[in-house]
């Protein structure tokens, strides 16, 4: 019998005040053939989500934060940003994160001169947060760029599923591990903190490869006394937050394994999600709840394929979970959305939560009437206070007099003493024009420009002014 397993130590669990025997010894399972979990991921069918009803406890860290990949993953699905755009967006991120640095870090590519110039210019800003960090492949050539620029930290791509190890890298698990560890050691020897991106973790053998690999990384962290961060990357968006789901699809199961069995401290754990199955936000929140201090995001969710976890979403997730914004200035989100539309040329879908042009616009007449009486009835929170976006009612054939009155009051930001109501002559004048439009066969919602023309004409006719 293997003495490694028979001589497992008995130790006191200080949090439970109970003696425990180490249940498992996590040794690399250097399989001959790749384990691609074909029972869960049959390529010719829709992926399956099996359950074994093993659950793990909530383990939310004392401090949680957001990190950003707008300039890395966010550039993999769109035209590259200019140097000037990167620096401007970085300034916005600094303001959004607030005095407590809630947007902890922002990662950059280093491969083009444009990106390197952006790194230097952002460094010149001298901000403590977001910390400037980089991303490289597990390559000694790539690592030269990190040294040349003088980065304090860098991400390293360490693909961890057999899909990548066997099929992409053409290695065995042991060969991949030894290769990754050699690059990590190079970082540590230079005094640079590595951040290991465990690519495709939701299709990886968690206890046969991921945990043994992370145990080796934790040994190196102890040896060199330099932080080694672990980023769990749900590269294909397969992660689920259902209690009792089987790993590697279980987000909570993965985080539990990394923290409890691989010994990765909370502050060294980070989640990176993709939205292929519409689960990026909920999986990121779940990662927080079960032990990750950091969640990685991208502005407006822009990223590879369906995108990443939207940064703005996690700002409001943080506020809901913590009961505070902890200094974040959420009005900057609206400024960023306007900057992207006007300067970057990126079209934000109008119904996108928090940032879309119509995210807090209602169209139903009965809703408009409710808003006129009290906006709390149909607005998610005080959007004017937190996003500088007052709630609006689009004017259509269903808006009625209340909807038109509310639109005028809101659009012109009229003070209480100048607000119009359903009985106002101006409102009736606009309503007559609206009715004529739809009686003549119109089916689309009226534009702001059209309404402004009509209101201006009606004001001149009635001899009144809204200003």
Per-residue pLDDT band for 48 (boundaries 50, 70, 90) equals: very high
Question: Average per-residue pLDDT in the chain?
Answer: 94
Lowest mean pLDDT among 115-119, 288-292, 312-316, 378-382: 378-382
CA 136 to CA 157: how far, in whole Å?
6
pLDDT per residue as tens digits for the range 121-144: 999 999 999 999 999 999 989 999
pLDDT for the residue numbered 161: 98
Residue 467 has pLDDT above 50, yes or no: yes
Residue-level pLDDT at 25: 78
Q: Could you report the per-residue pLDDT of 232-243, keeping only the tens digit for each?
A: 999 999 999 999
User: What pLDDT does 364 receive?
Assistant: 64
Residues whose CB falls within 8 Å of the CB of residue 138, separated by 6 or more in sequence, listed in order: 156, 157, 158, 179, 180, 183
For residue 448, give both structure tokens. 């702001």
> Contact 226/272 with Cβ under 8 angstroms?
no
- Spatial CA neighbour of 37 closest among 26, 22, 48: 48
Q: Are 107 and 69 in contact (CB under 8 A)?
A: yes
Out of 134-138, 202-206, 410-414, pick the least confident: 410-414
- Neighbouring-strand partners of residue 135: 155
Q: How far apart are CA 11 and CA 4, in angstroms?
A: 16
Per-residue pLDDT band for 40 (boundaries 50, 70, 90) equals: very high
393 band by pLDDT with thresholds 50, 70 and 90: confident
Count helices and strands in the chain by DSSP H and E runs: 16, 12
Q: What is the pLDDT of residues 144-177, one digit of tens each?
A: 999 999 999 999 999 999 999 999 999 999 999 9
Predicted confidence (pLDDT) at residue 323 exceeds the cutoff of 90: yes
Question: Does residue 14 register a pLDDT over 90?
Answer: no
| CATH fold of the domain at 54-344 | TIM Barrel (3.20.20)
Q: Taking 90 as the threshold, does the pLDDT of residue 313 lie above it? A: yes
Buried b (16+ CB within 10 A) or exposed e, 305-328: eebbbbbbbbbbbbbeeeeebbeb
Alpha helices in 290-388 (DSSP H): 311-322, 331-339, 365-373, 383-387
DSSP per residue, 221-251: HHHHT---EEEEEETTS--B--TTBPTTTBH
Q: Please list the helix, strand and coil fractions of the chain in percent, rounded to the nearest 5, in that order.
A: 45, 15, 40
Coil vs helix vs strand at 215: helix
Average pLDDT score over residue span 29-37: 97
Residues 90, 138, 234, 269, CA torsion sign:
negative
pLDDT digits (tens, 9 = 90+) for 61-112: 999 999 999 999 999 988 899 999 999 999 999 999 999 999 999 999 999 9
Q: Is the pLDDT of residue 466 over 50?
A: yes
* CA distances to 48, 78, 227, 265 from 221, in Å: 37, 36, 6, 11
Q: Using pLDDT thresholds of 50, 70 and 90, give the confidence band for residue 1.
A: very low
Predicted local distance difference test score (pLDDT) of residue 7: 74
CA distances from 339 to 89, 93, 114, 173, 422 (A): 9, 13, 20, 45, 36
190 compared with 20, residue with greater pLDDT: 190
What phi and psi values does residue 139 have, to the nearest 5 degrees?
Answer: -135, 135
Nearest to 275 by CA among 297, 247, 242, 252: 297
Tens of pLDDT, residue by residue over 226-271, are 999 999 999 999 999 999 999 999 999 999 999 999 999 999 999 9
The DSSP secondary structure of 95-132, one letter per residue, reads: HHHTTTTSEEEEEE--SSHHHHHHHHHHHHH--SSSEE
Least confident of 99-113, 300-314, 394-408: 394-408
Distance separating alpha carbons of residues 296 and 273, to the nearest angstrom: 7
**DSSP for 122-166?**
HHHH--SSSEEEEEEES-HHHHHHHHHHT-SEEEEE---SHIIII
The DSSP-derived string for 42-77 is -TTS-----B----------S--EEEE-TTTGGGSS
CA distance 70 to 139: 23
Domain residue limits, the chain = 54-344, 361-462
Q: Are 334 and 387 in contact (CB under 8 A)?
A: yes
pLDDT at position 15: 67
Q: For position 3, what pLDDT does the model report? A: 61
């Amino acid at each position: 019998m293997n003495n490694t397993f028979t001589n497992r130590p008995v130790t006191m669990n200080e949090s439970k005040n109970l003696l425990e025997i180490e249940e498992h010894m996590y040794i690399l399972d250097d399989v001959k053939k790749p384990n691609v979990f074909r029972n869960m991921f049959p390529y010719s069918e829709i992926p399956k989500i099996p359950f074994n009803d093993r659950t793990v406890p909530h383990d939310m860290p004392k401090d949680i934060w957001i990190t950003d990949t707008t300039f890395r993953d966010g550039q993999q699905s769109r035209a590259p940003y200019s140097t000037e755009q990167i620096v401007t967006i970085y300034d916005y991120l600094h303001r959004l994160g607030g005095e407590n640095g809630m947007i902890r870090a922002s990662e950059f590519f280093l491969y083009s001169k444009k990106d390197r110039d952006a790194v230097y210019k952002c460094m010149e800003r001298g901000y403590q947060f977001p910390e400037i960090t980089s991303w490289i492949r597990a390559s000694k050539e790539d690592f030269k760029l990190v040294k040349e620029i003088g980065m304090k930290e860098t991400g390293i791509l360490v693909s961890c599923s057999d899909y990548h190890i066997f099929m992409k890298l053409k290695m065995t698990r042991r060969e991949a591990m030894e290769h990754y560890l050699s690059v990590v050691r190079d970082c540590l020897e230079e005094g640079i903190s590595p951040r290991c991106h465990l690519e495709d973790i939701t299709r990886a053998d968690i206890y046969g490869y991921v945990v043994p690999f992370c145990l080796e990384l934790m040994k190196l962290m102890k040896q060199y006394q330099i932080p080694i961060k672990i980023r769990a990357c749900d590269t294909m968006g397969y992660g689920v937050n259902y209690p009792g789901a089987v790993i590697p699809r279980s987000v909570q199961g993965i985080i539990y394994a990394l923290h409890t069995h691989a010994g990765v401290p909370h502050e060294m754990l980070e989640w990176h999600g993709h939205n292929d199955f519409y689960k990026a936000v909920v999986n990121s929140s779940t990662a927080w709840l079960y032990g990750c201090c950091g969640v990685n995001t991208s502005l407006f969710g822009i990223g590879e394929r369906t995108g990443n976890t939207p940064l703005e979403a996690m700002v409001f997730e943080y506020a809901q979970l913590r009961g505070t914004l902890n200094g974040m200035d959420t009005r900057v989100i609206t400024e960023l959305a306007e900057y992207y539309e006007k300067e970057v040329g990126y079209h934000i879908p109008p119904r996108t939560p928090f940032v879309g042009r119509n995210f807090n616009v209602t169209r139903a007449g009965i809703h408009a009437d409710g808003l006129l009486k009290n906006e709390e009835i149909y607005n998610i929170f005080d959007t004017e206070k937190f996003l500088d976006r007052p709630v609006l009612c689009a004017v259509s054939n269903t808006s009625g007099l209340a909807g038109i009155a509310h639109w005028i009051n809101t659009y012109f930001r009229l003070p209480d003493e100048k607000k119009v109501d359903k009985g106002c002559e101006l409102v009736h004048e606009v309503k007559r024009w609206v009715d004529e439009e739809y009686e003549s066969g119109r089916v689309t919602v009226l534009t702001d420009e059209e309404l402004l023309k009509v209101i201006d004409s009606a004001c001149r006719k009635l001899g009144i002014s809204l200003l």
